[in-house]
Structure 1
Amino acid sequence: MIRNRQLVYERAEEMAALYREQLLAKQQGQAAALAVEEEIAVVAEEIPSVTAESNESHLLIIEDDQGRKEFTLDRPTYSIGRDRECDIRLVSQFVSRRHATLVRLPHDDKKRGYYYRIVDGDAKGKTSSNGLMINGRKIPAHDLKNEDEVVFGPQVRAIYYLVRDTMRATGQTDNAEYNITLINAGMTEDMED
């Protein structure tokens, strides 16, 4: 378990270094930036999932022009936007094609599990037209916390939920869950007479 967590931290540090390298590569040209983007995707996939360890579920509830959708977050990265290629597609003319990116990062060594950071724009560093309003403030990036509200544009928003499964974490069960009455089939025949 500790070795798994150490691997997560190493991969996260590697991803941070690659993001810095990507910014420099963008200044040097498109081909260099694409090469670094591919490296980021490879490293992100190598980060092991620590969901079973942490007893947490990460949910993103989206409301857009098509209604409400729920996404369980468990992958290292998600693209969010109007483009059909996005992992989480938003339906609205006010949303950029690649409006934001979600990145999974490990907690510090005192906490188990991971958290998600939302960043304005795509993985290449191009920001969205309207930016992100998070909890009423326009900011380029934010480490998501339970019940954070992200507004992408008029009538397009997301609410992030961090659900802790305390039953699984403690190993306890609710006795009401097993409160059932068994009826013997022969008993019902006796009652009818």
Structure 2
Amino acid sequence: MSSVSRATFAAATAVTAVAITASPAAAWAGGPVSANAGTPISIQMGTYPLITCPFSALNGTINAGGMLNITTATFNACTFSGSPPVTVTAHYLPWSGLLNGGSATLNGVRLSLLIDVGNPILCGYSGNLTGTYTGTASPVTASFSNTFTKVTGPLFCSSTITFSSTYVLTGSGL
């Protein structure tokens, strides 16, 4: 084999190796994103009955690299094992997060739970949501199940809660 042929063969082999090992970076369109609960949100507060929120929505933006900025979060029609009503409120917004490589995160999530049991009880919790997502364009489904730590509240408030959710994300940013 001539030296020119060997050089051409080596160059072609190197290009082929790069083409096989390189993969494109995940990219989102960038822009507005909304998320609605695909299933009721569940909040397990220690050994107490389950808190469920059938309606929850998140709104914000995502950039091309998958960075999330959640500016509003609502939880509606929440109940403590069917009754009494529970008011779940989001605090310290915006929450930052990331959708990248099948992993989903929301950081700095703070929630208060106001449980109306005659004398209302207010419990505050903080944590991060980590989970997975499927989809590469709108709609994208993200699922989370994480433990939050109590930051305020009386003894009735459990020291931790488990927050479980599945959100369906839509919008021109995806």
- TM-score normalized with structure 1 length: 0.29
Where is the helix percentage greater, Structure 1 or Structure 2? 1
Where is the strand percentage greater, Structure 1 or Structure 2? 2
